[in-house]
Amino acid sequence: MDKSKYITIDEKSIYLPIDNEAFEIGTLLTDFLELDLTDFQNSVERIKQYNTNDMNKVIKNNGRFQRGYAPILLQIDNSMSDKEKYVRIALHNALKATEHPYAYEVEYSSLTNIEYTKLFDIFDLVKLQKEYRAAVNDCLLKQDEKDNFNPLERYLNYSHELNGKAEIVYTVSNDLTLCEEYIASDISSLLYLEFMKMLQYNVFVRKCENCGRLFAVRGNYNKKYCDRRIYGTSKTCQEIGATNSFKNKMLKDPIIGEYQRAYKRLYARKRTGKITKEELDLQIKKATLLRDKAVAGSLELQDYIDQITKI
Ligand SMILES: [Zn+2]
């Protein structure tokens, strides 16, 4: 794929202009749905207070964005009031602080003639997250592998409206393929574009059985775990999930084995008259309780073994 200054999408991935990074269709949208927007919301609330110190600081630093960020047209000109400049820059800074790749890709040429207080609606990520969560739940969520549905059919019956505008640009690459490139001017348009591509290419969404977050699946619809890195480790849910189910299998066997040994021991004692029927029942009840606790994981394997071998 040639480097483009626009967003390029093929049947597999979305290529973002910065670093020409590729993301499989569905990963950016599901990551957006799982973003923790608490800090973003706090920033927005603070912007709405128009604190003089904040305003001066933000306007003074205008344009000094961190390295690696795309030059984004904030459409600021000197005829604007300080309040307006402040809202444009500060909102955009808050957006970038989410670190979602889409935050660096928006091109705000469509914001030229917008009254600046309306920008709070355009940047309402919480509302967008809610809207797309609902749409994904209704049209793309796959509960189990037997779930056989056509996402387009579900979308047809989806009564809410998703909105977005993306301009399409055609270019011919060096290897003579026709490329579709897109210019989307705000986050809602990027989400809209990706959502539609998910419908088009049967990219479904599942809930990770390890971390509970939504992730995109395609082809391998039985996939149970996401590929996100678990915070503080070098492992992904997929890697941890696979070892957990292996560990569980290994653990369950010694648990049952020890239980069976205790069971036989108790019956032998009853047979030889060392304990009564009542004592037998009581001890079996005890062993069963220990076994169930160990299987459920509320009793450590070693503690379980220590206790059941004394029965
Ligand atoms: Zn996960």
CB atoms within 10 A of CB 20: 12
Say how many Å lie between the CA of residue 18 and the centre of ligand 1.
26
Question: Tens digit of pLDDT for each residue in 49-87?
Answer: 999 999 998 888 765 444 333 344 566 777 888 898 899
- Mean pLDDT for the stretch of residues 278-284: 90
Q: How many angstroms does the Cα of residue 229 sit away from the middle of ligand 1? A: 8
Considering the chain, what is the average pLDDT of its residues? Answer: 85
What is the 27 CA–ligand 1 centroid distance (Å)?
A: 12
The tokens for 35 are 């973003």
- 69 alpha carbon – ligand 1 mean position (Å): 28
CA of 309 to the centre of ligand 1 (A): 38
Q: Report residue 140's pLDDT band, with 50, 70 and 90 as the boundaries.
A: very high
Retrieve residue 112's tokens. 């030229």
Measure 80 CA to ligand 1 centroid, in angstroms.
45
- pLDDT of 191 strictly over 90: yes
For residues 105 and 206, what is the distance between their CA atoms, to the nearest angstrom?
A: 26
Binned at pLDDT 50, 70 and 90, residue 252 comes out as low
Residue 114 binned pLDDT confidence (cut-offs 50, 70, 90): confident
- State the Cα–Cα distance between residues 160 and 303, nearest whole angstrom: 54
pLDDT on residue 93: 87
Report pLDDT for 103: 86
Q: Which DSSP string do the residues of 144-167 spell out, in sequence order?
A: STT----HHHHHHT--S-----EE
Protein residues placing their CB within 5 Å of the ion ligand 1: 208, 210-211, 226, 237
Q: Which stretch of DSSP H or E encloses residue 291?
A: helix 277-296
Q: What is the dihedral of CA 162, 124, 37, 80, to 10 degrees?
A: 140
The proportion of the chain whose per-residue pLDDT surpasses 70, expressed as a percent, equals 89
What does the pLDDT read at residue 146?
81
Q: Where are the alpha helices (DSSP H) in the chain?
A: 27-33, 38-47, 52-60, 82-97, 119-122, 125-139, 151-156, 187-200, 237-271, 277-296, 301-308
Centre of ligand 1 from the C-alpha of residue 207, in Å: 8
Q: Residue 83's pLDDT is what? A: 92
Distance 226 CA to ligand 1 centre (A): 4
CA 207 to chain centre: 9
The continuous run of DSSP H or E covering 13 comes out as strand 13-16
Q: Find the 166 Cα to ligand 1 centroid distance in Å.
A: 31
pTM over 0.75: no
- Residue 195's pLDDT band (boundaries 50, 70, 90)? very high
Mean pLDDT on 203-208:
94
CA atoms within 13 A on the CB side of 196: 13
- Per-residue pLDDT for 260 more than 50? yes
Cα–Cα distance for residue pair 85/62, rounded to 1 Å? 9
In the reported structure, the alpha carbon of residue 208 is separated from the centroid of ligand 1 by a whole-number distance in angstroms of 5
- Look up residue 302 and give its amino acid: Q
Domain definitions of the chain by residue range: 7-217, 237-308
**Centre of ligand 1 from the C-alpha of residue 140, in Å:** 18
Instruction: Select the more confidently predicted residue: 247 or 209.
Output: 209
Span from the CA of 212 to the centroid of ligand 1 (angstroms): 6
Inter-CA distances, 4 with 106, 107, 110, 169, Å: 15, 14, 20, 11
pLDDT at 165: 82
What's the pLDDT score for residue 3? 55
What spacing in Å lies between the alpha carbon of 291 and ligand 1's midpoint?
Answer: 29
Give the residue from 15, 18, 25, 21 showing the smallest Cα distance to 198. 25
CA of 232 to the centre of ligand 1 (A): 14
pLDDT over 90, % of the chain? 35
**H, E, C per residue of 170-197:** EEECCCCCEEEEEEECCHHHHHHHHHHH
- H/E run at residue 281: helix 277-296
Phi then psi for residue 81, to 5 deg, are -70, 160
Query: Ligand 1 centroid vs 214 CA: distance in angstroms?
Result: 8
